Structure 1
Amino acid sequence: MTRRLRLRGSHGLVLLALLAALPAFCLVLITGGPAAAHGAPMAPGSRTFLCYKDGLTSTGEIKPKNAACAAAAAQSGTTPFYNWFSVLRSDGAGRTRGFVPDGQLCSGGNTTFSGFDLARNDWPLTHLTSGASFDFSYNAWAAHPGWFYQYVTKDGFDPTKSLTWADVEDTPFLSVDHPPVTGTVGTLDGAYKWTGNLPSGKSGRHIIYTVWQRSDSAETFYSCSDVVFDGGSGEVTGVGDGTGSTDPPPSGSACTATYRTVSTWPGGYQSEVAVANTGTVPMLGWMVHWSLASGQSIASLWNGRLTAVGTAMMAENADWNGSLAVGASTAFGFVVNGTGSPPDATTAFTCMPT
Structure 2
Amino acid sequence: MSASAQPLNPVRRVPTTLLRILTIAAAAIVLLATALVDTAEAHGSTINPASRNYGCWKRWGSDFQNPRMATEDPMCWQAWQADPNAMWNWNGLYRDGVAGNHQAAVPNQQLCSAGRTGGVRYAALDNPGAWQTTRVSSSFGVKVHDQALHGADYFRIYVTRQGFNPLTQRLTWNDIELVRETGRYAPGAGTRENDPVLNGVSNTINVSAPGRTGRHVVYTIWKASHSDQTYYWCSDVTFS
When the two structures are superposed, what TM-score results if normalisation uses the length of structure 2? 0.72
- 1:250 corresponds in structure 2 to none
Read off the aligned partner of 1:191 and give its amino acid letter.
V
Query: In the aligned structure 1, how far is the partner of 2:110 from the partner of 2:142?
Result: 24
Could you tell me how far 1:56 is from its partner in structure 2?
1.2
Q: Does 1:136 align with 2:142?
A: yes
Secondary structure at the counterpart of residue 56 of structure 2: helix
Query: In the aligned structure 1, how far is the partner of 2:160 from the partner of 2:65?
Result: 30
Higher share in helix = 2
Secondary structure at the counterpart of residue 80 of structure 2: helix
Equivalent residues of 2:190, 2:202 under 8 A apart: yes
Query: In the aligned structure 1, how far is the partner of 2:236 from the partner of 2:99?
Result: 25
Cα distance, 1:53–1:155 mapped onto 2, change above 3 Å: same
Query: In the aligned structure 2, how far is the partner of 1:196 from the partner of 1:221?
Result: 19
Equivalent residues of 1:154, 1:167 under 8 A apart: yes
Could you tell me how far 1:168 is from its partner in structure 2?
1.3
- 1:16 corresponds in structure 2 to none
Secondary structure at the counterpart of residue 177 of structure 1: coil
- 1:326 corresponds in structure 2 to none
Query: In the aligned structure 2, how far is the partner of 1:55 from the partner of 1:195?
Result: 27
Q: Does 1:151 align with 2:158?
A: yes
Query: In the aligned structure 1, how far is the partner of 2:234 from the partner of 2:220?
Result: 7
Read off the aligned partner of 1:228 and give its amino acid letter.
T
Instruction: Count matched residues.
Output: 191
Could you tell me how far 1:51 is from its partner in structure 2?
0.7
Match 2:110 to one of 104, 111, 118: 104
Could you tell me how far 1:140 is from its partner in structure 2?
1.8
Match 1:200 to one of 210, 215, 219: 210
1:138-173 CA deviation, whole Å, 9 max, x = no partner? Answer: 11221212111101111101111121112112xx21
- Identity among equivalent positions (%) equals 33
Query: In the aligned structure 2, how far is the partner of 1:74 from the partner of 1:83?
Result: 15
Q: Does 1:224 align with 2:234?
A: yes
Secondary structure at the counterpart of residue 44 of structure 2: coil
Could you tell me how far 1:214 is from its partner in structure 2?
1.8
Query: In the aligned structure 2, how far is the partner of 1:195 from the partner of 1:99?
Result: 25
Q: Does 1:51 align with 2:62?
A: no
Q: Aligned ranges for residues 1-354 of structure 1 at < 5 Å? A: 35-57=40-62, 63=66, 65=69, 66-75=73-82, 77-109=83-115, 110=117, 111=119, 112-120=121-129, 122-130=130-138, 132=139, 134-146=140-152, 147-159=154-166, 160-169=168-177, 172-179=178-185, 180-184=189-193, 187-188=197-198, 190-230=200-240
Cα distance, 1:136–1:166 mapped onto 2, change above 3 Å: closer
Query: In the aligned structure 1, how far is the partner of 2:98 from the partner of 2:79?
Result: 23
Deviates more, 1:95-104 or 1:142-151: 95-104
Equivalent residues of 1:139, 1:191 under 8 A apart: yes
User: For structure 2, which runs of at least 5 residues remain unmatched after alignment?
Assistant: 1-35
Could you tell me how far 1:194 is from its partner in structure 2?
2.7
1:263-318 CA deviation, whole Å, 9 max, x = no partner? Answer: xxxxxxxxxxxxxxxxxxxxxxxxxxxxxxxxxxxxxxxxxxxxxxxxxxxxxxxx
Cα distance, 1:123–1:90 mapped onto 2, change above 3 Å: same
Higher share in strand = 1
Read off the aligned partner of 2:172 and give its amino acid letter.
T
Equivalent residues of 2:142, 2:207 under 8 A apart: no
- 2:20 corresponds in structure 1 to none
Cα distance, 1:181–1:143 mapped onto 2, change above 3 Å: same
Q: Which runs of 4+ in 1 moved over 6 A?
A: none
Cα distance, 1:62–1:151 mapped onto 2, change above 3 Å: farther
- 2:7 corresponds in structure 1 to none
Could you tell me how far 1:205 is from its partner in structure 2?
1.1
Query: In the aligned structure 1, how far is the partner of 2:161 from the partner of 2:182?
Result: 21
1:211-260 CA deviation, whole Å, 9 max, x = no partner? Answer: 00123311100000011111xxxxxxxxxxxxxxxxxxxxxxxxxxxxxx
Query: In the aligned structure 1, how far is the partner of 2:182 from the partner of 2:223?
Result: 11
Cα distance, 1:40–1:68 mapped onto 2, change above 3 Å: same
User: For structure 1, which runs of at least 5 residues remain unmatched after alignment?
Assistant: 1-29, 231-354
